[in-house]
Structure 1
Amino acid sequence: MASTKRTKKKKTQDSNKKHAKTVWMILGGGVLLVVLIFLFASWGLFGSLPDETSLENPEKDLATQIVSTDGKVIGKFFKDNRTPVQYEDLPDHLVNALIATEDVRFYDHAGIDAKGSVRALAFLGTKGGASTITQQLAKQFFTDQVSKNKFQRGIQKIKEWVIATRLERRYTKEEIITMYFNTYDFLNLAIGIESAANIYFDKPPSELTTVESAMLVGMFKNSSLYNPVRNPVGVKNRRNVVLAQMAKYDFITEEVKDSLQALPLNVKFTPQDHDEGIATYFREYVRNYMKEWAKENPKPDGSLYNIDSDGMKVFVTIDSKMQEYAEEAVTAHMINLQKEFDAQNEKNKIAPFRDITEEEIDGIMNSAMRRTDRWREMEKQGKSKEDIIGSFKKKTKMRIFTWANKDRYIDTIMTPMDSLRYYKSILRAALMSMDPTTGEVKAWVGGADYKNFKYDMVKTGQRQIGSTFKPFVYATAIDQMHMSPCDTLPNTPYTIEQGKYGLLKPWTPKNSGGKYGDMMNLKEALAQSVNTITARLIDRVGPKPVIDLIEKMGVDISDVPEAPSIALGTPDVTLYEMVGAYSTFANEGVYIKPTLITRIEDKNGTVLFQNVPETRDVISAETAYVTLSLMEGVTQSGSGSRLRGTWRGGKLYKEIVTGYPYDFKNPIAGKTGTTQNNSDGWFMGIVPNLVTGVWVGGEDRATHFGSTRYGQGATMALPIWGSYMKSCYKNEELNISTDRFKRPKNLSIITDCSEYKNNGDGDEIPDEFDY
C-alpha cells in the first residue's frame, strides 16, 4: 500500500516536472520567438526599415517661410505646411500636457512601456493602450499608414517597436518630443506644432497658454475627429480630458483645472492657404521671384532648391502691421466706394460700362469669356465652339464675391456670362508703400481680394497715370531751367503747332471745366493741376528730357512716346514704378530701386542671398526739394487739401470715405491724378520717410463713375492713403516722420512765395480731366 502511494507520488512529481518543463519551454520559446521576430524585423525581413542616415536626418518636406521685417511669418510656400521648432520653443505646459495624456512614464522607459504593454494585453486595450510617444513618433514618421489587415498591422507594430528602441538610443528625450510635435498633422494645412499654433491661435508655440496647449495636445488622439473648425464641442471635451490628466499627475492644481475647463476654446482660425492671410499679392510676387532665383542659384551639389520643401527662410521688407493697415484701408474704402458705384449704375442700361457701344461691350465680354478656365477646360475636352459658348448661357449655382457682407461671398444662380459681367463691375484698388531712404517696401496691396482677383495691380498692371505725371515735368523745368515755384506763367489757352515733336496736328490742351485766368505761379498751377501751364513747361524743356528723367527714376519708357501729351499723364505706368520714381524726390534726388527681399537662408540658417541696394543719382538735392515744395501745395490748397480736413464736402462724400476728416498737420507732398472719363484715380503721397501710392479703377477703362465728383483721384484713391496713414501714425513704434522735408544747404531757388495765396474758397476741389 505504502509502495503504491510512493509510486503514485513519484509519478505525480515527474508529471509536474514535465509540465513545468513544458511551460518553461513554451515561455522560453515564446521569448525566443519574440526576440527572433524583433531580430527579423530589425534585419528588414518584414520590410525595409530606416537606415542609420535616415534616423540621423529624417527627410521631411519643410515649408519655406516668408518673414516680415518685424519678425512675423506672413506666409509660406509648401507641399506640406511644416516648419520645425526647437525644444526651447515649446512651453513647459505644452510638454507636460503631452506627457500627462499620452505617455506619463515617458522619461522612465526606453521606447517601449513594459508595464503598459502587459496591461494592454491583460485587458485587451480596454484600460488604455501601450503606445509610447516614441512609438507614436515611429508610426507617423517612418512607417506607412496603418493597415486594416490584423496580421499586417501586427507586423507594422513590431516594426514600430524596433524603430522606437532605435530612436531612444540615438536621440534624447527632448529631441524625441520635439520631433513628435514637429511631425503631427493637425489638419487644415497645419503640420507640426508651429503651423498649428499659428493657424488655430495666430501665435507661435512659445506664446501658447496652458488651455491652448491642452487643446492642441487633445488633437493627437484623432485630429480628424477633434477638428476645432468642424467639431468645437468635441474638441472642448477632449481638451478638458487633457486638463484633467494634467491635474491627475500634478502638473496643475485641481483649482486651475476647474477654471481652465470652464473657458471657451477661443480659437482664432488663421488659415495659411496660399490664397489666405495678409500680403497675398506680395507673397505671389515672392513665389515667382524665388522660382527664378532657384534656377540661377543651384545647391553646391548642382541640384535645384525646391521652395515648397527645402525649408528656406525669405526675409522681406514688408512690415506686417503696415501691411494690415494698408489692407484695412483698402477694404474699408472699397466697401463704401463700391456701394456708391453700384447705386449710380442702377439706371445705367449698359452697366457697368459707360461711353462705349454695344459692339465694344461684346468685344470685351467675348475676350473675357475666352480667358476663363471654363473655356480652356472645355477646349481640352474637344468641345465645339458653339457648345462652349452655349455653356456660358446656362444658369447654374455659384458663389460670387461681394463687398456687401463680411463673408465676402453670396450664393446665387446666374449664367457664367452674367457672372463675368458682374465681376467687371467690381472696382479694383492697389497700394504700395516704401521707405525712400532705404528702398524697403513696407506694404503691398495688389488688389481688393486675391481669391477672386489675382491680377497684381502693383507690379504687373499698367494704367494711365493722369496728373501724377506732372511733377516730372515740373522737376525737369526746375532742373534744366532753374525755375522756382514762384515763377509765373499765363493761365491761358496754349497751342503747340503741327510738326513740332512730330505732331500731325496742333495740340491745344484744355483746363478742366474750361477755367482760365491771368498769370499763375508754378506752385498754384500744380496745386490746381492746370493743364495749360504744364503744356507750356513741357514745350520749354521738350518731351525727351522728361522721358530721360523718368527712365532714370525706374520707369519703363519702352512705350512712352516722345510727345508733349505725356505731360498730362497719357503713359501707362505701374504703381511699383510710380512709387519708386516719387521716392527719388524724398531721397534728395537719389533713386533707390524698391527692395523687397533682404536675404534668403537655407533650413540651416546659411545665408544664400543678401540684397545690395541699387541706387543712382538722378537730380540734385535742390531740384528734389523744390519739387517737394511744389507738391506740398497740392495738400495745402489743391486737390489734396482734404487731407487737412479743410474741405467741406457733401453728405454723400462723407458716406463713402472712411476716416474723414483726416486733419493731418504735418508736411505732406502729394499729387492726385484722374484719367480721361474718370477711368483711373491716383494719389501719390510723400512724407520724409514714407512714399505711398494708391490706384483705384475698374478692370476695363470703360468701367468708371459717371461724374468727376466720385471718379477723381481725390475721391477714389486719396481716402485710402489718408486712412492708411492715420493708422500708421497711431502706431508710434513705426516712427513715421512728421518732420519737414530736409532742406539743402545753400538753397538758391526761392520756395516761399509771399505773394502766393489760395485763390479758391477751400470748398471745392478742381476737376482733373486730362485731355
Structure 2
Amino acid sequence: MKASPSRFKTSIKKILKNKWIKWLVILLTAILLFLFGLYISIYVGLFGKVPTIEDISSIKQEQATQLLDKDEKLIGKYYIYDRQPVTYEDLPKHLIDALVATEDSRFYEHDGIDNISLMRVFVKSLILQDKSAGGGSTITLQLAKNLYGRKNYALFSMLINKFKESIVAKRIESVYSKEEILTLYLNTVPFSDNTYGIESASLKFFNKSVNDISILEAATLVGTLKANTYYNPRVHLERSKDRRNVVLSQMVNYGYLSKDSLAYFSEQDQQLDYRSFNHDLGLAPYFRAEVKKQLESILDTLKTPEGEKYDLYKDGLIVHTTLDFKMQQLAEAAMKEHMSKLQVDFETSYGKNSPWETNSKLIESAIAKLTKVQTYKEQGLTKNQIEDSLNIKRPTDLFSWKGDTIKNISTIDSLKHYLKFLNTGMLSVEPTTGAVRAYVGGIDYRYFKYDHISQSERQVGSTFKPFVYTAAINNSLSPCTYFSLNKVTYTDYDDWTPTNSGSDEEDPFINYTLENALSNSVNTISVKVLEEVGIPKVLEQVEKLGISKKLPNEPSLALGVAAISVKDLTGAYASYLNKGKAVKPYYITKIEDKFGNVIATYQPEISEKEAYTEYTRQVLLEMMKSTVNKGTATRLRSTYGLKNEIAGKTGTTQNNKDGWFVGLTPKLVTITWVGNDNHSIGFKSTGMGQGSNSALPIFAKFYQKLNKDSDFNTITKAQFEKPSEQVLTDLDCEPTKRDGFIKRLFKKKEKKKKFN
C-alpha cells in the first residue's frame, strides 16, 4: 500500500523538527552555497586570473635548445626544464594505452572532469581531511596543472586549485581534440631526474626517441608519473619494475593487453640505457660549454620575428654542429684509458716525496689562490682563523680514476688531492675546413671546468719546430742542408747553451740533414736553423698560420717557449694538409628556430692565401712522416701497431711540464696535450713526461679505435698524395754526415758566439 502525499509531507516535517537533522541540512546547504560562491569567485578571477580560451589556444611552452652533431644526432641540450615536444604521430599506441589505462581510464568519455572521482576527492580531502585521498585527476586536469601550476592560498588551497584546474580543463577540452590533449600532456608532464616531456624522458632513460620505445619502456615511464622520485628507474630499479608491472596489469584490466602478454612481460628485467643531459655530464661537456659561450654571443645579434631576443634555454632552438658523435665517444674513451694509467705511473714515480704533499711553498701558493681564501680575507678573518676554517673536515665529493668517492676531508686536503692530477686537451679537426670532429677539453668536466682547448695556453715545446723549418725551406734553404750537432753558447743571451734530450755526450762532428734533425727533434740544430733563417721571418711565417699572439723574439723560440692554445696550434698544423692554408677550428654550422626555420649559418674560416709554397708543404709533410716512421714518434708503429698514413711531431717542454703530440693523417689533424694545471709540477723524468709517452698514446689509442670501425674507413684508409719528383730528389741524401779529418782537427766541441 502506497503512502499518501500528505503522509509523506508529515514525515518530512517530523524529520526536520529534529534539531540535529535540521542543523545538518543547514550545514550541507551552507557548504553547497560556500562551494558555489567559491567557484564563482574563482571563475571571475578573485583568486587570480584563470586562463581564457584565447590563452589556452595559444599555449607556449618553454623548450630545451637541442645540440646536434654533424649527422643530426643529439649530443646535448641547454635548458631550465628539459623538454622536447613531439607530435601525436610520434607517440606509439602502446604508450597511449598505458597512459590512459593507468591515469584516466574514462579519458575518451568525459569532458575534462570525471565527476564521480572528483566527488570522491572532495569528500575525502575536504570533509574527512584525508591528505592521501589523491585520485580524481583526469589527464586533462593534470595537463591544466602542468601548464599553469598551482599557488598556495593558505586556507582551502587544495580546493581552490582543484576548482581552477576544473575550469581550465573544461576550456582545454573545448579547444583541443583528445589526441591534442594527450600530445600536450605527454610533452609537458614531469618525469624523473628533472625531465619534462616524453621525448626527453625516452632519450634520457632508454637512449631512443619515443616512437621507438617498447611496451616495457612505455610502461616504465608511465609508471613514474605516480611519483617520479620514488619510482625513478635510475635510482630504484626494482621499485620501478614493480610499478611497471602495475601499469601492465592496468592495461590488461582495460583490454589493452592480453593476460598471456602480461605473464611474459612481467618476468622481464628492467633495462635502462641511461644518457644524462646534465650540463656537467654526458658526451662532450667541454665542447657543449664552449658552444654555449658562442651561442650566447650569437643570440645577442639575432631577433625573433616579433623583434625579441632569442632565449637559449626556453626557445627550443636547434643548433647543428660539426662534432662527430661516435668519434667523440672514441676520443673520450682513448683519453680515459691512457690518462688513468699515466696518473698511476705519475704518482708512483714521486712516491712519498710528491710536491703536492711535501712542497710547502707550492701548497701555500695554491691555497692563497683559492676563492674561498679571498672571501675570508674580505670578511676580515685573521690568518689563524682562515687556517682553522680551511682545516675543518666536511663530506666532500672527490674525483678518482677508480671511481668517485665521498670523504670527510678539509679544504686543504681536497686541494692536495686535486693538485696531483694530470690533465689533458685533445682536438681533432677536418683540415680542409676546420670543422671540429672531436673535442676533449679535460679529464672530467664535473671537477675540472678549465678548458684545455680554448682557454689554456701552454708552452708548445718541439711542436713549434716545424714552423721554424717551414720558414727555412720557404726561404730557399735546401732540405739536404747539413747542420752540426755540436753545442753553441750564445753570449748575447746570458750564455744560453741549448742541449739535446736523451744524451749528455754527443759526437760534435756529426751533421744532420733538416729531415733527420726535425724527425729526431734535435734542439741544437733547431736553434741553428732559426739563426739561419732569422727570427723575424719565423714570426712572420707563424702569423701567416693564424697565430696572431705576440711570441718571444729570442733564440729559445725555436724550442717552443711560446705558449699557444691547442685550438690555434691545430688550425696552423691543418695547413700542411690544406694546400698551405691555415684554418680556424669552428663548431656551429647553422641555427634553426623550433619550427625548423634557419636563423643563422656559418662557413669555414680558411686563410685566403697560402702561408708557404706547395713545395715547402710537401717537404715538411715528408719530414713529419719520418718523425713517425723513424724518429721520435715510432711508438705509433712499434708499440701501437698503427699502419695508417701518419705524419706527426712530438713535443716536450722544459722540466717536463708539458707533453705534446701532433698527428696528421690525410683527412684529420689531431693534437693532444698532457700536463699538470699547476705549472710548478712537472713529470719526474723525461722518459715519462716526453710527448711520445705522455701525449702520443691518446692519439694512438684513438686511431686504434677508429681503425676497428668501418664507419671511419674514409679517414683511416686515406692516403697522402705522392710528393713531386723535385721534393723526392731534394730529400734523397744521407741523413747524417761526419766531418772530415781536417775539419775535425780545427773544430771545437763547443763554441761561443753571438746569435745573428
Question: Which range, TM-score by smaller chain?
Answer: 0.7 to 0.9
Root-mean-square deviation (CA, aligned residues, Å) is 3.3
Residue 668 (str. 1) matches residue 646 (str. 2): yes
Indicate which of 452, 459, 464 corresponds to 1:469: 464
Structure 1 unaligned blocks of 5 or more? 20-25, 646-660, 760-771
Give 1:621-632 correspondences, 5 Å limit: 621-632=614-625
Residue 554 (str. 1) matches residue 546 (str. 2): yes
- Find the counterpart in structure 2 of residue 655 from structure 1: none
Provide Cα deviations, 1:399-430, integer angstroms capped at 9, x if missing partner: 32222x1x2x2343444223322311111111
Residue 741 (str. 1) matches residue 747 (str. 2): no
Indicate which of 433, 437, 460 corresponds to 1:438: 433
Provide Cα deviations, 1:114-139, integer angstroms capped at 9, x if missing partner: 56557878999999944221111112
Residue 478 (str. 1) matches residue 479 (str. 2): no
- Find the counterpart in structure 1 of residue 593 from structure 2: 602
- Find the counterpart in structure 1 of residue 90 from structure 2: 89
Give 1:157-168 correspondences, 5 Å limit: 157-168=162-173
How far the C-alpha of 1:241 sits from its partner, in A, is 0.7
- Find the counterpart in structure 2 of residue 209 from structure 1: 214
- Find the counterpart in structure 2 of residue 699 from structure 1: 677
Is the contact between residue 468 and residue 529 of structure 2 (CA under 8 Å) also seen in structure 1? yes
Residue 538 (str. 1) matches residue 538 (str. 2): no
Indicate which of 332, 335, 339 corresponds to 1:334: 339
**Distance in 2 separating the partners of 1:88 and 1:251:** 19
The 1:243/1:146 distance shift into structure 2, 3 A limit, reads farther
How far the C-alpha of 1:214 sits from its partner, in A, is 0.3
Residue 262 (str. 1) matches residue 263 (str. 2): no
- Find the counterpart in structure 2 of residue 657 from structure 1: none
The 1:758/1:93 distance shift into structure 2, 3 A limit, reads farther
Is the contact between residue 189 and residue 273 of structure 1 (CA under 8 Å) also seen in structure 2? no
Residue 634 (str. 1) matches residue 642 (str. 2): no
**Distance in 2 separating the partners of 1:554 and 1:578:** 9
Q: Report the residue type matching 2:102 in the other structure.
A: T
Is the contact between residue 601 and residue 607 of structure 1 (CA under 8 Å) also seen in structure 2? yes
- Find the counterpart in structure 1 of residue 747 from structure 2: none
**Distance in 2 separating the partners of 1:199 and 1:377:** 39
How far the C-alpha of 1:630 sits from its partner, in A, is 0.8
Q: Report the residue type matching 2:555 in the other structure.
A: P
**Distance in 2 separating the partners of 1:758 and 1:103:** 85
Indicate which of 357, 362, 365 corresponds to 2:363: 365
Provide Cα deviations, 1:310-348, integer angstroms capped at 9, x if missing partner: 222222211121111111111111111111111111142
Is the contact between residue 687 and residue 738 of structure 1 (CA under 8 Å) also seen in structure 2? no
**Equivalent position SS for 1:270:** coil
**Distance in 1 separating the partners of 2:151 and 2:134:** 21
Q: Report the residue type matching 1:90 in the other structure.
A: L
Q: Report the residue type matching 1:462 in the other structure.
A: E
**Distance in 2 separating the partners of 1:73 and 1:728:** 21
The 1:14/1:536 distance shift into structure 2, 3 A limit, reads closer
Is the contact between residue 598 and residue 611 of structure 1 (CA under 8 Å) also seen in structure 2? yes
Q: Report the residue type matching 2:96 in the other structure.
A: V
- In the comparison of the two structures, how many residue pairs are matched? 717
- Find the counterpart in structure 2 of residue 172 from structure 1: 177
**Distance in 2 separating the partners of 1:246 and 1:104:** 10
Is the contact between residue 524 and residue 756 of structure 1 (CA under 8 Å) also seen in structure 2? no
Q: Report the residue type matching 1:424 in the other structure.
A: L
Under a length normalisation based on structure 1, what TM-score does the superposition of the two structures give? 0.85
Query: In percent, how many aligned pairs have the same letter?
Result: 36
- Find the counterpart in structure 1 of residue 705 from structure 2: 727
Q: Report the residue type matching 2:98 in the other structure.
A: A
Structure 2 unaligned blocks of 5 or more? 15-26, 738-756
**Distance in 1 separating the partners of 2:519 and 2:305:** 57
Residue 588 (str. 1) matches residue 579 (str. 2): yes
Is the contact between residue 286 and residue 440 of structure 2 (CA under 8 Å) also seen in structure 1? yes
**Equivalent position SS for 2:451:** coil
Is the contact between residue 511 and residue 736 of structure 2 (CA under 8 Å) also seen in structure 1? no
How far the C-alpha of 1:171 sits from its partner, in A, is 1.6
Is the contact between residue 535 and residue 567 of structure 1 (CA under 8 Å) also seen in structure 2? yes
The 1:168/1:544 distance shift into structure 2, 3 A limit, reads same
Give 1:301-380 correspondences, 5 Å limit: 301=306, 303-348=308-353, 350-351=355-356, 362=361, 364-379=362-377
**Distance in 2 separating the partners of 1:567 and 1:232:** 59
Residue 134 (str. 1) matches residue 140 (str. 2): yes
**Equivalent position SS for 1:332:** helix
How far the C-alpha of 1:644 sits from its partner, in A, is 0.9
The 1:65/1:114 distance shift into structure 2, 3 A limit, reads same
**Distance in 2 separating the partners of 1:304 and 1:666:** 48
Under a length normalisation based on structure 2, what TM-score does the superposition of the two structures give? 0.87
**Distance in 2 separating the partners of 1:87 and 1:690:** 42
Give 1:223-238 correspondences, 5 Å limit: 223-238=228-243
**Distance in 2 separating the partners of 1:416 and 1:118:** 57
The 1:278/1:758 distance shift into structure 2, 3 A limit, reads farther
How far the C-alpha of 1:58 sits from its partner, in A, is 2.6
The 1:452/1:46 distance shift into structure 2, 3 A limit, reads closer
Residue 564 (str. 1) matches residue 561 (str. 2): no
Is the contact between residue 356 and residue 363 of structure 2 (CA under 8 Å) also seen in structure 1? no
Is the contact between residue 483 and residue 749 of structure 1 (CA under 8 Å) also seen in structure 2? no
The 1:352/1:520 distance shift into structure 2, 3 A limit, reads farther
- Find the counterpart in structure 2 of residue 155 from structure 1: 160
Indicate which of 676, 682, 694 corresponds to 1:716: 694
Is the contact between residue 192 and residue 224 of structure 2 (CA under 8 Å) also seen in structure 1? no
Is the contact between residue 393 and residue 417 of structure 1 (CA under 8 Å) also seen in structure 2? yes
**Equivalent position SS for 2:462:** helix
How far the C-alpha of 1:224 sits from its partner, in A, is 2.9
Q: Report the residue type matching 2:273 in the other structure.
A: K
Farther-moved stretch of structure 1 (429-438 vs 381-390): 381-390
Is the contact between residue 629 and residue 751 of structure 1 (CA under 8 Å) also seen in structure 2? no
Farther-moved stretch of structure 1 (185-194 vs 680-689): 185-194
How far the C-alpha of 1:396 sits from its partner, in A, is 4.5
**Distance in 1 separating the partners of 2:655 and 2:442:** 22
Is the contact between residue 202 and residue 268 of structure 1 (CA under 8 Å) also seen in structure 2? yes
**Distance in 1 separating the partners of 2:339 and 2:425:** 11
**Equivalent position SS for 1:296:** coil
How far the C-alpha of 1:146 sits from its partner, in A, is 7.5
Provide Cα deviations, 1:458-478, integer angstroms capped at 9, x if missing partner: 111111111111111111122
Is the contact between residue 56 and residue 172 of structure 2 (CA under 8 Å) also seen in structure 1? yes
Is the contact between residue 38 and residue 162 of structure 1 (CA under 8 Å) also seen in structure 2? no
How far the C-alpha of 1:189 sits from its partner, in A, is 2.2
**Distance in 1 separating the partners of 2:409 and 2:157:** 52
How far the C-alpha of 1:13 sits from its partner, in A, is 7.5
**Equivalent position SS for 2:353:** coil
